[in-house]
Chains A and B, each alone.
Chain A
Amino acid sequence: MYGGGNTFEGIKTDSLSQEDPVKLAAFEARIARGEKIEPTDWMPQLYRKQLIRMIEQHAHSEIIGALPEGTWITRAPGFKRKMALMAKVQDEVGHAQLLYSAAETLGKSREQMIDDLINGKSKYSNVFNYPTFTWADCCFISWLVDAGAIVNQLANAKGSYGPYCRALERICAEESFHLKYGHHCVIYLASGTAKQRQMFQEALNRWWPPMMHFFGPSDKISAHTEVLMRWKVKMGTNDEMRNQFLDMYVPKIWELGFTIPDPNLKKNTETGKWEYTEPDWEEFKRVINGNGPCNKERLEVRRVAEARGRWVREALKSPKAAYVTPLA
């Protein structure tokens, strides 16, 4: 799972003037033809930098995203749910492995990426900085946060960087289990007792604002991303992704008789676009800058794991092994 709304670095267009214009033209022509870029191909520095940043954020989101759901493994309602949730959380950590490998092909080592996560230098999806109070919060993540992630990932799988696309194809295949499992969990709560219905309604109330933030700032205020779209690093604007998510899942939420906590939410039949109360982007910024309800806890868990696992990694280290950049 993963959120869009990547925080891209401000793009200085003059950085492109440093590039060899002939190589740059050939590079852009290849992308325009729909061909993939492979690790040994020439690429502009800006492309490399933004891709590393995006894939790395995606990988971090997978391992941090395992935490709010992982919390509920020990308290899942029943053996079957426990097994399924465990498999799902394992999947997420596996996705991080695939994504870190893809980012490594661009020249940043895994050690550096993990250092940057632990030291708060790298970002990850904001949505995982919120707590899972009840089992219903966990169900919300499994169904709807994963659904949002799939919207993003399916789009990104059509991007221009070969190793990232191949990793995403593999990830999307596993996500279909997450989505079906999550929907199954929510149907059971919806068709259960009044208390169960109330539990999910409360979770929906808590998670709707972070879910709207999930796709990133509105196009009106988000950074200029034209060059990233042309290079097929970003495959759709934040608002397009958000609209696609609303289109697919709002009817399914309403079908189950739940109320989405936004009185202004409706589809404009003329434009085909959803209208909603503008999400609180100040809150979004606050959380992304480290002041959300769980930011400290999430990073602390990683920090403790890093410190406690160190002796194991030291013991396993072999002088014969060598870190090399992956081939593809």
Chain B
Amino acid sequence: MDNNVIDQSKDITILELLDRVLTKGVIITGDVVISVADIDLVYLGVKLMLSSVETMEQLKAGKAIKEI
């Protein structure tokens, strides 16, 4: 079994990064804030990425279950 648990895969790193920067961190709301349009659309793309990562990880995990 691979002992390297720190993930180096580009997909997961980008997914985790986008999830954080689009939905976490300090947020400012109110009338004085300039809004950026379409951030929701970018996050929708992140959710789609999550689905593909899940499928990939599901395949890996499925293989592990068969092996035990």
Q: Do A and B come from the same complex? A: no
B residues in contact (CB < 8 Å) with A:
none
